[in-house]
């Protein structure tokens, strides 16, 4: 997967728009972050901590948490390792989390 795939999947979600901030692509709903580019092949997505724990335990080769994010509802997604179905599910969950 790549950032163009992220853009396609994210902007298919209700109300999600793409924006570039600080030179990084990001996707927002009502001005709130859904997901953003962290590195060329790493995506940061919002999620609740319980969901993040489940993702990291189920697929540590795909999902991770940077030490600086432990206290926040965010997960890192390796775009080289994630499937389209996993990415779509994470983005949909991030959109729901951000819209609350």
Each residue's pLDDT tens digit, 25-71: 999 999 999 999 999 999 999 999 999 999 999 999 999 999 999 99
Total domain count, the chain: 1
What is the reported pTM? 0.95
Average pLDDT score, the chain: 96
Q: How far lies 13's CA from each of 6, 39, 58, 65, 94, in Å? A: 11, 23, 25, 24, 10
CA–CA distance, 34 with 97 (Å, rounded to integer): 8
| Domain span holding position 38 | 3-98
> Quick one: pLDDT at residue 100?
79
11 pLDDT above the threshold of 90: yes
Query: What CATH number is given to the structural domain containing 8?
Result: 3.90.1150.30
């Amino acid at each position: 997967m790549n950032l163009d795939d992220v853009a396609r999947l994210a902007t298919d979600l209700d109300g999600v728009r793409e924006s570039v901030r600080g030179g990084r692509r990001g996707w927002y709903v009502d001005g709130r972050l859904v997901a953003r580019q962290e590195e060329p092949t790493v995506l940061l997505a919002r999620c609740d901590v319980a969901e993040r724990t489940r993702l990291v335990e189920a697929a540590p080769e795909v999902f991770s948490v940077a030490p600086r994010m432990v206290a926040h509802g965010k997960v890192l997604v390796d775009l080289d390792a994630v499937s389209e179905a996993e990415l779509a599910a994470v983005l949909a969950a991030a959109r729901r989390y951000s819209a609350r």
